Structure 1
Amino acid sequence: MAKPTPRVLEVIGTRYITPNMCRVTLGGAGMVDFPIDQESAYIKLIFPQDAGSRPLMRTYTVSVQRDGEIDVDFALHETEGPASAWARNAQVGDQILIGGPGPKKLINNEADWFLLVGDMTALPAITVNLAQLPTEARGYAVLEVTTEADRQTLKKPENVEIHWVINAHPNADDRPLLDCVKSLNWLDGQPAVWAACEFHSMRALRQYFKVERAVPKTHLYVSSYWKVDSTEDQHKIVKSQDAQTEDQ
């Protein structure tokens, strides 16, 4: 299937959801043929470079979609990349070139219970996943944020517990998400697991879910969204190499 032609969208509004999460609302004429029901799908923000250089592309999730508008949430880090810097400084009327949308990555709803795990970069996707779970769903969401003030009130089934992990300075050695997951009471029945976070943390979680808990591929989604001390382009290379090794 051919990739959708990139479109120019316009900044309709911006606001801070929490101190380290900025929401940018995009709309305009470019939304005319944007597919419906794309919450949790990914889009590519495209930043043109100097003549002769390939444009920079950064991947983000459609957090909310309304008629003619989408919301995109940006986790803001101490070291800013081009996308988060753009979001922090975006003004109404600014334009941005967008690729996509790409496929949704939703948790398998055919399960006895559910476990969603992620840091702030995955919080938009987890928010959509939580909201679409069956009302009778049970399980956990383990969410890593920068500060206490970055906690959000999320729509979720009553019997899904949220556990917040505060981590102001993520690094390659600490595993706060895994530590919290291991402290949970592992429920009876078949779980469905959805996890996305920093690369090193992702690999630790993947090992735990695949080897120690033997969660089958049909019920396991694990992905890295970024890598500490790396650009997105560097992370993309390492992520591809890791996937090839994992498939062998």
Structure 2
Amino acid sequence: MSRRAPPRTFTVLDKTEITPNMLRITLGGEGMDDFPADQPSAYVKLQLPHPEREKPLLRTYTIRAQRPDAVDIDFVRHSDDGPAARWAETAAPGDTIDIAGPGPKKRVDASADWVLLIGDMTALPAISANLEQLPADTRGHAVIEVVDERDIQPLSAPEHLQLHWVINPQPGENSDALFDAVRALDWLDGRAAVWCACEFQTMRRLRTYLKQDRDVAREEMYISSYWQHGANEESHKQAKSADAERAG
């Protein structure tokens, strides 16, 4: 995503409660006039005004779905009520927001012998978009952590890709739930392509397991933390940078 590109102004068209802990905001208006096509799973930067700052806060979100005149962005309802979650809760049709991007699409390598997608609710929009793009004969697993059983969504996935839902009422505080579910999987034969995004500490545990115990090569794996328990996006970005330097 070019930092020099000016943000686009979008208008809130609709707001839908997808599950008890996830809201979908549909955005359209003039921002769609020159917005690139085929951007589901790409990230954008929401620019949120802050009363104590001259510059807006930037928060990163995924394009869940796109139509010629609108995009959908899904928001997890966090208990800590971060600025993006607060904006989503109060947003109403007619409101506007400036958005920079899109950045690169993050898609799993469908040419592998099988795929493994891993994530929590913050990654669910990107995982959903990935599943919809996979060929019909794709084999593999998707392991998805949600806060409540009611947060399980119907997803469009290939017939031979198995969905595993993990219920964790305390995401971030309990990093075992998602990790243990991945470790319990039957590892399939052939070359695996891995796509993983979740909380920072959980990501680090999964990265170690996938590299050391399952011998997944770096080039076969996209793995990232989308958030860090107890940290805002600025602090999380610093932690990610330091972790990347250590990991090499």
* 8 Å contact kept, 1:172–1:201: no
The residue that corresponds to 1:88 in the other structure is: 89
- 1:134-153 counterparts in 2 under 5 A? 134-153=135-154
Is 1:169 the counterpart of 2:153 in the alignment?
A: no
Q: Does 1:73 align with 2:85?
A: no
Shift in Å at residue 219 of structure 1?
1.1
Kindly tell me the number of residue pairs found equivalent between the two proteins: 247
Which digits, 9 at most, give the CA deviation of each residue in 1:86-132, with x for residues without a partner? 11111000011100000001111121011000000000000011111
Contact 2:2 2:101 in 1 (8 A): no
Q: 1:75, 1:120 within 8 Å by CA — same for their partners in 2?
A: yes
1:153-206 superposed Cα distances (whole Å, 9 cap, x missing partner): 000000111110001112345321110011111011000000000000000000
Give the fraction of aligned pairs with identical amino acids, expressed as a percent: 51
Q: Which runs of 4+ in 1 moved over 2 A?
A: 1-4, 48-54, 171-174
Q: CA deviation at 1:53?
A: 3.3
Name the residue aligned to 1:38: 39
**Aligned pair 1:234/2:235, yes or no?**
yes
1:87–1:118: structure 2 CA closer, same or farther, 3 Å change rule?
same
Counterpart amino acid of 1:178? F
Q: SS where residue 15 of structure 1 aligns?
A: strand
Counterpart position of 1:117: 118
Tell me the distance in 2 between the aligned counterparts of 1:173 and 1:144. Answer: 11
Question: What residue is the counterpart of 2:101 in the other structure?
Answer: 100
| In structure 2, distance between residues paired with 1:183 and 1:89 | 40
Name the SS of the counterpart of 1:205 in structure 2: helix
Per the normalisation by structure 1, the TM-score is 0.96
Structure 2 stretches lacking a partner, 5+ long = none
Which residue identity is paired with 1:234? Answer: S
Structure 1 residue 54, shift from structure 2 partner: 2.9
In 2, the alpha carbon distance for the partners of 1:80 and 1:109 equals: 36
C-alpha distance in structure 1 between counterparts of 2:223 and 2:107, whole Å: 11
Q: Does 1:246 align with 2:247?
A: yes
TM-score normalised to the size of structure 2?
0.96
Between the aligned partners of 1:59 and 1:77, the Cα distance in structure 2 is 15
Match of 2:8 in 1: 7
Displacement of 1:2 in angstroms is 4.0
2:168·2:174 contact (CA, 8 Å) conserved in 1? Answer: no
Q: Matches of 1:239 and 1:201 in 2, distance apart?
A: 13
Q: Does structure 1 conserve the Cα–Cα contact (< 8 Å) formed by 2:44 and 2:60?
A: yes
Q: Give the AA of the match of 1:185.
A: D
2:20 aligns with 19
Gaps of 5+ in 1: none
Give 1:52 deviation, angstroms: 5.6
Partner of 2:214: 213
Q: Which is worse superposed, 48-57 or 144-153?
A: 48-57
Report the Cα distance in structure 2 between the residues aligned to 1:70 and 1:37, rounded to whole angstroms: 10
Separation in 1, partners of 2:14, 2:244: 37
Shift of 1:51: 6.9
Query: In 2, distance between residues paired with 1:119 and 1:72?
Result: 16
Matched with 2:183 is: 182
**CA spacing shift, 1:66–1:176, aligned 2, 3 Å:** same
Q: CA RMSD in A?
A: 1.3
